[in-house]
């Protein structure tokens, strides 16, 4: 439920119904093992940046990372189209309210796929615009062609999407995501995968018993890291 002290602040989409579901993580949520690995990579990335860097988390939802690192003294702000709080400003990635070349780093995590294909280049171009020369984009995006999706397409004739089409209207396979990033002008300096979706094991076991079988999910993470084209989620570190 939404905190009564924040009911006057804007909530839309999943946040209107589920509240702060990332902050109040249900470990039995099928996506929880993936989310926890994502958290690990985000913390590693932010902690690798100089302390004086100006950081923006675009599409940040509840602003979990923004709040945590703000309290640690980091200069980090949040922007989201569907959420507003002390740490998160309501705004649109297609028209980011920041000056050109004003930020050292931008996080854009699990949000690109929610945009229509036609809007994705605009969003990436806006991020490119607000980054300083040599600025860093840390992007995570689902991979429509992850291992189990390929298996499902081959044997069942259907894709294993990471969410409903109505939510992931712009979900793409790994190579298309890589292409549109590069076409924006970014140089990709590192790529890692999260969650290796082994056929049968992932959907039939791990997703149904996410808390109990988190160890099994994490057992295959070293392979996901080095085989991002087969992983469910891809992390791109990109330089302007």
Please compute, for residue 46, the number of CA atoms within 13 A of its CA located in the half-sphere on the CB side.
23
Residue 61 CA: distances (Å) to CA of 79, 102, 211: 8, 22, 23
Distance, in Å, from the CA atom of 5 to the CA atom of 26, rounded to the nearest integer, reads: 23
| Mean pLDDT rounded to a whole number for the chain | 94
Q: Which CATH number fits domain 4-239: 3.40.50.2300, 3.30.420.10, 3.40.50.12140, 3.40.50.150?
A: 3.40.50.150
Whether the predicted pLDDT of 6 surpasses 80: no
The residues spanned by each domain of the chain are 4-239
**Residues of the chain with pLDDT > 70: what percent?**
97
Q: In this structure, are strands 231-239 and 187-196 parallel, antiparallel, or unpaired?
A: antiparallel
Summarised one tens digit per residue, pLDDT across range 201-212 is 999 999 999 999
Q: Is the pLDDT of residue 3 over 80?
A: no
pLDDT at residue number 161: 93
Using CA atoms, how far apart are residues 130 and 80, in angstroms rounded to an integer? Answer: 16
pLDDT range class, residue 20, cuts 50, 70, 90: confident
pLDDT of residue 47: 97
Residue reference for tokens 């109505």: 166
Say what the pLDDT of residue 18 is.
77
Q: How confident is the model at residue 8 (pLDDT cuts 50, 70, 90)?
A: low
pLDDT digits (tens, 9 = 90+) for 113-140: 999 999 999 999 999 999 999 999 999 9
Sign of the dihedral defined by the CA atoms of residues 127, 128, 130, 135, in that order = positive
**Separation between Cα atoms, residue 203 and residue 182, nearest integer Å:** 32
Q: Is pLDDT above 70 for 4? A: no
Q: What integer pLDDT is reported at residue 13 of this predicted model?
A: 76
Q: What is the pLDDT of residues 173-216, one digit of tens each?
A: 999 999 999 999 999 999 999 999 999 999 999 999 999 999 99
**Angle in degrees, 0-180, between the axes of helices 174-184 and 120-130, rounded to the nearest 10:** 50
Contact status, residue 145 vs residue 94, Cβ threshold 8 Å: no
Give the Cα separation of 75 and 202 in Å (integer): 38
Question: Residue 23: what pLDDT?
Answer: 84
Whole-angstrom distance, CA of residue 240 vs CA of residue 238: 7
Mean pLDDT calculated for residue range 29-48: 96
- Could you tell me if 195 and 162 are in contact, meaning their C-beta atoms sit under 8 angstroms apart? no
Q: Check pLDDT > 60 for residue 97.
A: yes
- Per-residue pLDDT at 226 exceeds 60: yes
Task: Tell me: pLDDT of 2 over 60.
Answer: no
pTM here?
A: 0.93
Query: Once rounded to an integer, what is the mean pLDDT over residues 68-95?
Result: 95
pLDDT (mean) for 65-72: 96
Tokens for 178, please give them.
Answer: 């890589």
Cross-strand pairs, 198: none
Residue 19: predicted pLDDT: 77
- pLDDT of 91 strictly over 50: yes
């Amino acid at each position: 439920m939404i905190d009564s002290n924040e009911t006057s602040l804007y909530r839309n989409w999943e946040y209107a119904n589920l509240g702060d579901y990332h902050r109040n993580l249900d470990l039995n949520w099928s996506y929880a093992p993936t989310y926890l690995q994502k958290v690990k990579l985000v913390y590693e990335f932010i902690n690798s940046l100089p302390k004086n860097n100006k950081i923006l988390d675009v599409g940040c939802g509840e602003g979990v990372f923004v709040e945590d690192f703000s309290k640690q003294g980091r200069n980090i702000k949040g922007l989201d189209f569907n959420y507003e709080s002390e740490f998160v400003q309501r705004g649109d990635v297609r028209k980011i309210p920041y000056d050109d070349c004003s930020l050292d780093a931008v996080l854009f995590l699990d949000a690109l796929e929610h945009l229509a294909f036609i809007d994705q280049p605009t969003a990436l171009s806006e991020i490119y615009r607000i980054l300083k020369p040599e600025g860093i984009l840390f992007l995570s995006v689902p991979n429509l062609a992850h291992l189990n999706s390929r298996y499902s397409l081959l044997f069942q004739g259907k894709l294993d999407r990471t969410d409903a089409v109505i939510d992931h209207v712009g979900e793409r396979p790994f190579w298309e995501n890589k292409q549109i990033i590069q076409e924006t002008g970014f140089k990709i300096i590192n790529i890692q995968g999260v969650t290796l979706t082994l056929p049968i094991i992932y959907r039939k076991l791990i997703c149904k018993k996410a808390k109990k079988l988190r160890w099994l999910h994490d057992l295959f993470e070293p392979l996901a890291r080095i085989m991002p084209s087969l992983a469910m989620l891809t992390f791109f570190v990109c330089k302007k």
